[in-house]
Structure 1
Amino acid sequence: MEAGRRLSASLNTRRCARTTAELAAAFLADVAMVVLPPTRRRAGWLRGTAGRTGLEEGEIDLAAAAEVPGLAEALAGFPPVPSRWLDSAQTPAWLLPGGFGPVGHLLVTPLPGNGVPAGALVLARREGSAPFDDKTETLVRVFAARAGAAISAAVLYQEQSATNAILTGDLLPPPLPELEGVRMAGALRASQQAGLIGGDFYDVYLPDADALRDEPGRRPLVTLGDVCGKGARAAVLAGQVRHSLRTLLLLEGRPERIVGLLNRSLLASPAKSPFVTMVLGAVHSAAGGHTRLELAIAGHPAPLVLRGDGTVEEITERGSLLGALRSIVPALVTVDLAPGDVCLFYSDGITEAFGGPTGREMYGTARLKADLATCAGMPVTALVERLEQLSTGWLAESAEQDDRALLAVQAVPSEARVPAGRGGER
């Protein structure tokens, strides 16, 4: 009972191996060594000694492993041989802690894994100690099977976690670049059912040197979008959309043309129901410290504009969603941001979130506008954090949640600009 509980308490490979060595040294032998599967002809080991606290760790090469009777076979997954068949006198000195003395009895058994061995367990008892009888050997094999299963499960979990980290790396929000005269901040939160990733996305695309050489007027693009659905499938499609936009930017810089090309790409996709809504905007520097956004809105909630005096303006155009019709008509809107003004892109997971005191009230655009108005004068990062907190607080305990995304673009306030010829932060 104790062994099973402790072995199943962790999904860390090293911790499972440590627990195996500790339990074996405490209950089965005077010395217990767990030898892990070799990598590049070297194998790690952990050694526990009865009556001593802590474990020793190290590495051996395969030649050293072959010095221990039965160890090479155990690491290869062959069935264990009885202890009485092993010559304990052949036990190499490196297997034992200092001052251990002569070995009287040796037992080596594989740690069965998920199709491949999870390592091997080497047990040694001092000369004069009781031998490993048949009952003890059966107990050791049962313990080794449980330990091997625990180590194997931990290895599988860590491999899957590493694979997931690689696969989801490109699906997570990107770090936002710095643009001259503009400050940006974003927040992305997948639904509770989806985990870390979902169908909402935002990104910023900078034209490369070749594009700027061929077309000097190319501008950075900002986007926020929403893929139909939730979870991994929607996240994968969102990643494909982001990569498609990056590729299209090599060929085209006008937002209205890019969304049209993206629509054609989605229609050609074999994915079922690849519907996407998005806002795509080109960022232009304008006179007087202003920033001009030329937006193409494709079926997405239109951005809100927070002016310096706390007034919030709502853009009403929405345009056609992507991936449904061959011919689309995006809404084309130009937004002029004076220094300090903010353009807020958001997904419908914000406004259509149900929560509040009853748990059944929609957050709504009116409430978002009112909350945004309270953020006048805030740094753009604080503005996004506050809106995310208010949205999360509105949802509270609600289980029905959608993905939520926010992206704020602010023209740098006048007081934060540095006059020409002077240093300091912008």
Structure 2
Amino acid sequence: MVTVSSWLRAPCPALVVDAAGAVHGMNDAAKSLVPEQVSPSQWRHGESVHIAERSYTTHRVDNEDDSVTWWLLDETELLLERERAALLSRVSSALMTSLNPERCMTVVAEMAAEHLADEVLVIAPRSGDGHPVTRCRRDEAPTYELRHVDVEAVIGLSEALRGFPPVPSRWIDPAAAPEWLAGDVSSIVVTPLPGHGVPAGALILMRRDAHFTEDEEAFARLFASRAGVAISAASLFTQQAVITERLTNDLLPPTLRRYEHVELAGRYRAAADTERVGGDFYDVHELPDDELFVVLGDVCGKGLDAAAQTGKVRTAVHALLQVVTDHDQMLHALNQALLTTDKSRFITTVVGTVRPVDEGLRVKLTSGGHLPPLIVRANGEVEAARTKGTLVGILPRIMTSTDEVVLAPGDSCLLYTDGITEAHGGPLGDEEFGEERLRRALTACGGMPAEALVEHVHMLAAQWVGQNEHDDMAVLSITAPRRRSS
């Protein structure tokens, strides 16, 4: 039998139960813990029992007189740590599924309301007209809004939004909190949401009928650190996506407007299906006296580097048009600009000036090492413009020649890049589309509106390529509208 000295003064609660299942002895630790109505006869070795809001693991020791000593090992803290570790793991897993800041704030608010507090606010740094705020009460759906927040009205909130350590909850008087924050609450915790070098916001926890312990506040900070990193990552991703979208839109060919005397249409397809931009481009600029200046070109290379160069070329052309519209002067100036800025990338380009005349449209065309534009007559005849020149941006001086054509009503001038003619595909998958095949296809396009013409050419090239790799493709049509009969 267990001796008095071995168990009465032990720190772990212990009970002695006789063969009939009655408790006939407890040590000092058990007397202050175990209620008189306890029934050890229902216990099983190694199971968990809950006594006085704590959890214990039962350990049975059989004695020589058929009695049993039950030792109770407190596992409350261990279970709490396991529960908290599991919560942090769930938080991380849940937040990894989204790179949307609002969604991340919602997940954080929901999980904090379920496990940490009765009511939760997640406040992000000020953006535009206010602070993004997600509020969630336990067992209720979260709400999200952009609102004006007086951060100085809540002790610790201004500091938390700047990333400073939190103040203890005992320093925050719920009665002094603004009405928008707290109603009938008894304790408030304000802790920062640390991000990637920049604070991601603040987490506010509120309880109605209980106060936060120091241990709970410490865990709230740990919870906030996981949440802040995820919210910060989502915010940075969103900012980068917005920047990328704006820059990409600036690099894409423009949306062509309608003109009374000229039909314009263009199509563009980047070499990589995962990228929207590449090395082909076209632009249209308005000149005095109803004239238009058009440019289509192809930068050496493809992908984002080539797209960045197209942006430089388009900007240079726009700037040069303020002082020169003559084709030769324009291409020579552009050649010098490219030689000065980047000798590793040259371009081929064709520029044109379009002027309405009584006969239809008078189009002046000059090539800088580019494929000559094709003239598609209304009756289906196809001819190449008589213009040629040297590459732009590779030699100190370039040679150019200019052609001038008149487009009667229904005629079109088609500008295109070699991504169309050099597209490999066809029945065997390795045949080049070629200029001759393009010309034959255009004989059936006489009199087509500009939109229909570029769509048809774009479709032919796409069908020819199929799933094969291809270069950037750009096509631009200048069409003289058919005159309405009076």
Q: TM-score range by the shorter chain?
A: 0.7 to 0.9
How far apart in 2 are the matches of 1:344 and 1:61? 58
How far apart in 2 are the matches of 1:17 and 1:292? 60
The Cα shift of 1:122 comes to 0.7
> What is aligned with 1:291?
361
Instruction: Decide whether aligned partners of structure 1 residues 45 and 300 sit closer, same or farther in structure 2, where only a CA change above 3 A counts.
Output: same
Q: Pairwise mapping of residues 183-332 of structure 1 onto structure 2 (< 5 A)? A: 183-192=263-272, 195-208=275-288, 219-267=291-339, 269-287=340-358, 289-315=359-385, 317-332=387-402
How far apart in 1 are the matches of 2:485 and 2:261? 10
Match of 2:454 among 384, 393, 396: 384
1:53 is aligned to 2:122: no
> What is aligned with 1:102?
185
Instruction: Decide whether aligned partners of structure 1 residues 71 and 266 sit closer, same or farther in structure 2, where only a CA change above 3 A counts.
Output: closer
Output the TM-score relative to the length of structure 1.
Answer: 0.84
The Cα shift of 1:184 comes to 0.9
The Cα shift of 1:27 comes to 2.6
How far apart in 1 are the matches of 2:233 and 2:96? 9
How far apart in 1 are the matches of 2:351 and 2:146? 56
How far apart in 1 are the matches of 2:130 and 2:357? 63
The Cα shift of 1:88 comes to 5.0
Instruction: Out of 403-412 and 362-371, give the one that drifted further.
Output: 362-371
1:116 is aligned to 2:182: no
1:26 partner letter:
E
Match of 1:174 among 254, 257, 280: 254
1:70 is aligned to 2:156: yes
The Cα shift of 1:20 comes to 1.8
The Cα offsets for residues 376-402 of structure 1, whole Å up to 9 and x where unpaired, read as 34321122122222322333322x332
How far apart in 2 are the matches of 1:314 and 1:41? 57
How far apart in 2 are the matches of 1:139 and 1:344? 68
The Cα shift of 1:221 comes to 1.7
How far apart in 1 are the matches of 2:395 and 2:129? 58
1:117 partner letter:
P
1:413 is aligned to 2:482: yes
> What is aligned with 2:9?
none
Instruction: Out of 158-167 and 79-88, give the one that drifted further.
Output: 79-88
The Cα shift of 1:39 comes to 5.4
Matched residue SS, 2:470? coil
CA contact (8 A) 2:94 2:107 kept: yes
CA contact (8 A) 1:49 1:55 kept: no
CA contact (8 A) 1:80 1:109 kept: yes
Instruction: Decide whether aligned partners of structure 1 residues 27 and 394 sit closer, same or farther in structure 2, where only a CA change above 3 A counts.
Output: farther
Matched residue SS, 1:186? strand
Q: Which has the higher contact order (CA 8 A, sep 6+)?
A: 1
> What is aligned with 2:241?
161
1:34 partner letter:
V
Which structure's CA Rg is the greater one? 2
CA contact (8 A) 2:129 2:147 kept: no
1:18 partner letter:
T
> What is aligned with 2:413?
343
2:323 partner letter:
L
How far apart in 2 are the matches of 1:57 and 1:248? 48
Instruction: Decide whether aligned partners of structure 1 residues 61 and 220 sit closer, same or farther in structure 2, where only a CA change above 3 A counts.
Output: same
The Cα offsets for residues 105-151 of structure 1, whole Å up to 9 and x where unpaired, read as 332221001212111101112214x84462x4454333312221222
1:18 is aligned to 2:106: yes
Structure 2 residue runs of 5 or longer lacking an equivalent are 1-88
The Cα shift of 1:206 comes to 1.8
1:32 is aligned to 2:120: yes
1:232 partner letter:
L
CA contact (8 A) 2:193 2:228 kept: yes
The Cα shift of 1:73 comes to 2.6
The Cα offsets for residues 352-393 of structure 1, whole Å up to 9 and x where unpaired, read as 122334443322223322333333343211221222223223
Matched residue SS, 2:104? helix
CA contact (8 A) 1:7 1:150 kept: yes
How far apart in 2 are the matches of 1:7 and 1:184? 48
Over the residues paired in the alignment, what is the CA RMSD in angstroms? 2.8
CA contact (8 A) 2:343 2:394 kept: no
The Cα offsets for residues 145-164 of structure 1, whole Å up to 9 and x where unpaired, read as 22212221222223223333
1:279 partner letter:
V
% identical equivalent positions? 43
